[in-house]
Chain A
């Protein structure tokens, strides 16, 4: 096998706060794997979180780890048992490989598999490198009319697809979304693709909402910060009452912030019998107005990553049901990966999705 380049540069989080570029050997592949030349990787909030905080919840960085999990690339070698891919195929990479045998996997909820190996969740190395070995059945060939940049966005798009699946958005539904970051925006796109009649979006940043105006949302609400000394629940009651002066209650409310106030407001803004989907991951413990759940039958569903989304995402982008291109605002070459991370951290220049090109 001759590779386009023999070096395998990896973007490694050596420890909290320290990202370095390292050369590592090109991996060998198992019979059921393919070797990918990674071409595009998007940066996710979780990558930045590991960099800045050294861990997320119970997942703690104990040794150096390669970052990145939102990738697309080109097949450069296939294992003996691989039939559906060949050298030269362009693929989107689903970064979490499940065991396929446990009860969760067998019932189709493989995102909950206990043996899940997810790229860039310690201790599994991520995809920000030149060459990456991956289970072939978690690589999805893309048609010519999808670029590798778009294919890299299938990972965050999958979060939005899973959220829509769990909430069962139906034609004509009113959907309200808290959070105008990339995930919230992709949820808006997915809501529209699912037939939502009206999508409202709220955020504390007027700049983010300015972008949202031209991206699958019908109304935008700027949220003020809580008053000094105001408790979260007081803020939430006051603010949701104000929102309901110009907005109707929604069938589905998606929280893409994780902020306690937004979770509280999500419940208050849902119609009787509707559903709240928690996409954002915030504090592990939050003060929840449960009477909205018990007395109005508003369900809450959280999501953990996604399952069974990649094939659909490929079709949606290919047929034009969803356009993810506007979200890709900045790109950096692999050797400037640290600059890319700094850019995401600062959020400057209207950054939505920043990608790294290999």
Chain B
């Protein structure tokens, strides 16, 4: 086992440095046994769109990286317990775990009612909010014991590191009326869209159609989920004067040609954050249907509020997850959500910069890129 703590540290846009940091001793539990930590030898970490955003732009929204206060990236991780803080009850050295990367205060009204993803004092790995909060793209990281979820021997470290995005999918799908026989549309065939579709099927959805502008992603979707229907969407011209009208017409064409059976579409999952996709999702749902906004984009969109009123189409949002890891792990270990094939590229921790460039370049065949010692 390595005894360095090589870590991927972001200082600013395009300034990601591999540095050796301290291997911290996991904190002992006190009367507040919430804080009892375990030390994890991190073995796999997936790269997420938010990591790329910090790498590319040096900021997310109005949270800007400060080079005097750099941050370790990474929040989609799995590993093996390497040391225990004093008072750890439920884990042992050698246990293989998926890491839930957000420590919450447990006292605010959101925590207390079980929606800890909305905690005002949330410290989320690899995020600047209430931070910088050091993440897990490194060799050793410490996390509270209760946030480290055991994974069975049948799950690889790659699978374990996919539990984080799968938890987003599980949390989202659970907030919609998806059940036996449901029909769903998914906008965006990236890892989140694919996992949302897989979860919808696992929860009984009968018909899922996935949309993307990229035919390679749609081809991959069919290999990953053979039952799924795919539709390649056109891209609006950059000078389209009325984007909302374009979105509406695009959906109407798909409805008239029978590609979308609108009055049976129970839920539209929006996994891109792109304004025209949010608009299309609203035009594609049945009366009384639900739009689930998962993708994070520009932050503002021109929306057909009339659809919300006259058709009572609800718009719900999803932010990360709360208490979704156990269910996500269960769905994978029972074979209800497949993960094979999603990790398309693997890199050693030393080659992190190459991995980031691979994700930034994208292109055919890139779905989920993971870094680690598998």
Among residues of A, the one whose C-beta sits closest to the C-beta of B312 is A304
The docked-state distance in angstroms from the alpha carbon of A281 to that of B310 is 9
**B316 to A304, Cβ gap below 8 A?**
no
Q: Among the listed stretches B1-9, B66-74, B299-307, which one makes contact with chain A, having 4 or more residues with CB under 8 Å of it? A: B299-307
Q: Among the listed stretches A291-299, A316-324, A342-350, which one makes contact with chain B, having 4 or more residues with CB under 8 Å of it? A: A291-299
Within A67-116, the residues touching B (CB, 8 Å) are 104, 107, 109, 111-112
Within B287-304, the residues touching A (CB, 8 Å) are 287-288, 293-297, 299-304
Residue B93 lies at the interface, judged by CB distance under 8 Å to chain A: no
Interface residue tally on A, bucketed by range: 35 or more
From B278, B295, B314, contact of A299 by CB (8 A): B314
**B310 to A288, Cβ gap below 8 A?**
no
Residue B214 lies at the interface, judged by CB distance under 8 Å to chain A: no
| Chain B residues whose CB sits within 8 angstroms of the CB of A282 once the complex forms | 305
Take A104-B287, A290-B278, A294-B273 as given contacts and tell me if A285 and B303 are in contact as well, using a CB distance cutoff of 8 Å: yes
Task: Please encode chain A, from 286 to 310, with 1 for each CB lying within 8 Å of some chain B CB and 0 for all others.
Answer: 1111111111111111111000000
From A112, A272, A286, contact of B287 by CB (8 A): A112
Interface residue tally on B, bucketed by range: 35 or more
**A289 to B287, Cβ gap below 8 A?**
no
Residue A229 lies at the interface, judged by CB distance under 8 Å to chain B: no
**B303 to A286, Cβ gap below 8 A?**
yes
Q: How far is the CB of B175 from chain A (nearest CB, A)?
A: 8
Residue A226 lies at the interface, judged by CB distance under 8 Å to chain B: no
Residue A233 lies at the interface, judged by CB distance under 8 Å to chain B: yes
| Chain A residues whose CB sits within 8 angstroms of the CB of B244 once the complex forms | 285
**B318 to A285, Cβ gap below 8 A?**
no
| Chain B residues whose CB sits within 8 angstroms of the CB of A104 once the complex forms | 287-288
Residue B339 lies at the interface, judged by CB distance under 8 Å to chain A: no
The docked-state distance in angstroms from the alpha carbon of A304 to that of B289 is 13
| Chain B residues whose CB sits within 8 angstroms of the CB of A299 once the complex forms | 314-317
Take A109-B312, A295-B296, A301-B312 as given contacts and tell me if A285 and B306 are in contact as well, using a CB distance cutoff of 8 Å: yes
**B314 to A294, Cβ gap below 8 A?**
no
Q: How far is the CB of A98 from chain B (nearest CB, A)?
A: 13
Report which residue of A57, A263, A295 has the largest number of chain B beta carbons within 10 angstroms of its beta carbon: A295
Query: What are some 10 contacts across the A-B interface (CB < 8 A)?
Result: A107-B288, A109-B288, A272-B118, A273-B110, A281-B310, A284-B306, A285-B306, A286-B302, A300-B314, A301-B308
Interface residues of A (CB under 8 A from B): 57, 104, 107, 109, 111-112, 233, 263, 272-273, 278, 281-304
